[in-house]
Chains A and B, each alone.
Chain A
Amino acid sequence: MIALPEPKAAVVARREAILADLARLVGPDGLVSEPHCLRAYETDGLAVYRQPPLAVVLPSTTEEVAALLRYCKAEGIRVVPRGAGTSLSGGALPLADAVVIGLMRMNRFLAIDYADRVASMQAGVTNLGITGAVSAQGFFYAPDPSSQLACMIGGNIAMNSGGAHCLKYGVTANNVLGLTIVTIEGEIIRLGGTHLDAAGYDWLGILTGSEGQLAIVTEVTVRILRSAEGSRAMLAAFRSNEVAGACVAAIIGSGIIPVALEFMDRPAIHACEAFAHAGYPLDAEAMLIIEVEGSPAEQEDLMSRLGEIVGRFDPLGLKIATTAEESAAIWKGRKGAFGAIGRISPDYLCMDGVIPTSQLSPVLHRIGEMSRTFGLGVANIFHAGDGNLHPLILFDANDPESMEKAEKFGAEILKLCVAVGGCLTGEHGVGVEKRELMGVQFSAADLEQQRRVKSVFDPDWLLNPSKVFPLGATPPVIHAA
């Protein structure tokens, strides 16, 4: 199990006085302090770690967030920002001496402009809510994490979230134009706007994916895009992971960038089929879901090009949807994957390493060997076009030995990803989960430079501490002229 820092005894001892101050800042109805209510916030999407916080506050305005941060900074109180709490890396895990600042009440849209193709909203608007607000006009917000019904745009910014359609449309960082942030000093800063390429250092770029380490995001401006005329999915089944991997390379090499290119291995196919009855091929070792966009004739053209490529890899089956319903059926199993795995195993850990796509086959082979060594099942579902693996390790959290093995297995997979030229996380973030593995990917000098940037924004390391960086070292001090 991962260590959490020693709570500051002086802060915990002052809890009652702190609660009174917080109630003054956000009003009594913006404060959560009863133990049974705090339990709703004790964990996030990585439910194996739990820790109720000192208190939770639910501000309604940027100014309230500023007042809260000023107060916490002055009192030396740690702060954990929180959106919907769907983080899969323990990013929103509270600390015993920390105040959780939850953004869920800040859920209003501020402006939508179709001529300039931008939408502005508060940080607590959900990802799917953005598309929902603009879809009647034929527009959408591109990054589409599987958690999009629940997760919030503020959390998406913090994690630089991606989704199945990012191969074509980019991740969160590629779709953000403006942010309102509040620093730990309680200063409100507006960055970017509704134009492209903000001037000066790339504040939007460093904040996106900063996992709540640098500031709290309260407002966001994103690009919205006009939807394509239509889309269609294809399902291709293969005799081995290797052949499916080679087919992915051939598709990309042909000049076609599908909007989605998803890979599932045998255990994943079986789990999803049992759950969703999507008609997946149970005799296949691997399958691909490939989606293309355009007019019916364009879809036809792309499908025939893709069909020709797939045909070169001795497929066990090839199903090209002819209607929207058939496309939905192909996606049904994939979209229910997490639920499906939840049915075949009491618990699972979802890994998120990325590899160069040429390494697909050897890496899956090695993961299979590890699965046998650790005695734990694993199902692989991932974004094949960009090499973002999601091995799901099946274990039982009530059995400490199983839990410990699962964590070790996960760490070994991530080390393997780095060893073949990849990275620890493609979209779920480091959080608490991968904190101690950072040294596998980065040198001491690399990490020191990142830690200095953290200190630029948060000199006392009060914002979301014990995440992202290995525990232990003291915060670097920055002397600016």
Chain B
Amino acid sequence: MMAAEAPSDEAGLAAQIAAARDAREPLLIAGNASKAPMLRPVQAARTLSTRNLAGITLHSPAELVLSARAGTTLPEIEEALAAHGQHLIAEPPDLHVLLGTESAATLGGTVAANLSGPRRIAGGAMRDHVLGMRAVNGEGTAIRSGGRVLKNVTGLDLCKLIAGSFGTLAVMTEITLKVLPAPERTGTVAIAGLDTAAGVAALAAALGSPYAVSAAAYLPDGAAEALPALAGLAIHPGVALARIEEFAPSVAYRTERLAAALGRFGAARVIEDAGSRPLWRTIRDALPLAAGLAESDAVWRISVPPSQGPRLAAAAAAAGGRWFLDWGGGLVWISAPADEARHRSITEAASAAGGVWTLLRAPASLRPGLSALPPLSPTLERLTRRVKAAFDPAGILNPGRMYAGI
């Protein structure tokens, strides 16, 4: 059992980090669900959790900003936003089912992993909406970057570096986000009976249309099977889905026009708001893969140029895996029995397609031996080490979490 600390203010957290730095004792940084077996395992004697740094500190709906302490859970934030008809722009996923964990994700963990959902292609990534943050670096020094206004180019944007650094550079204590009004209505155009190439071509046409498609996914029949919104469609071999989010009259108009514009790919069905919302939650949370996932399975999350989606789908199928595509074909979710050969074939296909990959989940026995992220070129490795040293010279924050030895 690891010793766990969960200070309730930034000063307490800074003191813990300073003490660990003095003792040269590595810390595992955790939000809530630190048991989840993700990325590379961290060798640390103690866990430092932001769990008790909780609560929304500012929500100014007319200014489109929200600030919360890093340990605030996403459901709490989403609820506060919804009360004012707003939402998180990046639509971050709730992966607890996929990852087999129980507690809700924290804001800090979500920003630290730069996790975005289907709306990523239209609205930007989680870190695009981080307006500012407070954080404690590996020397126990509290720093602030950015602010609480919507535009800010003052100085180097350290928020960008810290968001997506998986707690290896600094521990965030408070984060300010840009938020937006939630759409009045959503609707989805579905075209079933398409193979992967035709499906991705249909999504490209949808995203190249003037109707501001906010999400675009392709589900092969295995992944689409159990989804109520798609009941009655002859899905085989797969279905292309394009979402519109707007005021009600616009959703009606745009889904109709989009269905017509995509007519050359096949007959389209328009899925109304009540079916569209749960459908995209399922896609957001990667639930088509979660069902039937075995302890011995691995999950990869791969980002490629959208036109390369079919190539990754073929690689997944060749490895005996299950898969589906989001982001117009650019985000490839794959699950397959975990072993080194499959890991190699899938990640090599991702690199060959000009993309990047994350090993999101793998059995504990395999994790120490596998890279969780694409290996760094020698020049980037040198820069990565130097950036790490600029924030955490003693190397005590989540050592080895992203790359062995860093």
Contact = CB atoms under 8 A, between A and B. Distances in A.
Q: Do A and B associate with each other?
A: yes
Interface of A: 113-118, 138-139, 159-160, 162, 166-167, 170-171, 173-174, 183, 187, 189, 193-206, 208-210, 213-214, 226-229, 249-250, 252-257, 294-295, 297-298, 301-302, 354-358, 383, 385-388, 421-430, 434, 438, 441-443, 445-447, 449-450, 452-457, 468, 476, 478-481
A170 B124 CA distance: 8
B155 A298 contact: no
A187 to B, nearest CB: 5
B63 A358 contact: yes
Interface in B356-406: 356-358, 373-374, 376-377, 379-380, 382-391, 393, 395, 402, 405
B57 interface: no
Interface centre among B116, B164, B253, B387 (most CB of A within 10 A): B387
A133 to B, nearest CB: 16
Interface string B254-294: 00000000000000000000000000000000000000000
A206 B161 contact: yes
20 contacts: A166-B151, A193-B305, A193-B356, A195-B305, A195-B354, A195-B356, A199-B358, A200-B374, A202-B127, A202-B160, A205-B159, A205-B163, A214-B156, A252-B62, A252-B64, A356-B148, A387-B63, A446-B144, A446-B145, A468-B156
Contacts of A249: 62-63
Nearest to B65: A356
Contacts of A421: 147-149
Given A116-B306, A196-B327, A480 B386 contact: yes
A188 B91 CA distance: 35
A77 to B, nearest CB: 22
B161 A201 contact: yes
A73 to B, nearest CB: 15
B250 A388 contact: no
A425 B153 contact: yes
B184 interface: yes
Given A116-B306, A199-B374, 18 more contacts: A115-B204, A174-B124, A183-B379, A195-B330, A196-B330, A202-B127, A256-B181, A354-B152, A421-B148, A422-B147, A425-B153, A441-B154, A445-B143, A449-B390, A453-B158, A453-B387, A480-B389, A481-B385
Given A116-B307, A196-B120, A229 B151 contact: no
A254 B182 CA distance: 11
B290 to A, nearest CB: 21
Contacts of B161: 201-202, 205-206, 453
Nearest to A456: B386
Contacts of B391: 449, 452
B60 interface: yes
B250 A205 contact: no
B249 interface: yes
Contacts of B387: 201, 453, 456
Contacts of A453: 156, 158, 161, 387, 390
B62 to A, nearest CB: 4
B209 A226 contact: yes
Contact of A255 (B181, B212, B380, B405): B181
Contacts of A202: 114, 127, 160-161, 163-165
Given A357-B62, A386-B151, A453-B158, A478 B386 contact: yes
Interface string B123-149: 011011000000001000111110111
Contacts of A197: 114, 116, 120, 125, 303, 356
Given A202-B161, A228-B210, A354 B155 contact: no
Contacts of A438: 154-155
A463 to B, nearest CB: 13
Nearest to B122: A225
Contact of B305 (A116, A206, A449): A116
Contacts of A201: 161, 164-165, 169, 384, 387
Interface centre among A162, A226, A297, A455 (most CB of B within 10 A): A226
Nearest to B61: A253
A294 to B, nearest CB: 7
A162 B151 contact: yes
Contact of B376 (A200, A383, A429, A450): A200
B306 A115 contact: yes
A243 to B, nearest CB: 15
B85 A427 contact: no
Contact of B154 (A167, A206, A430): A430
A171 B303 CA distance: 22
Contacts of B306: 115-117
A118 B121 CA distance: 12
A114 B169 CA distance: 37
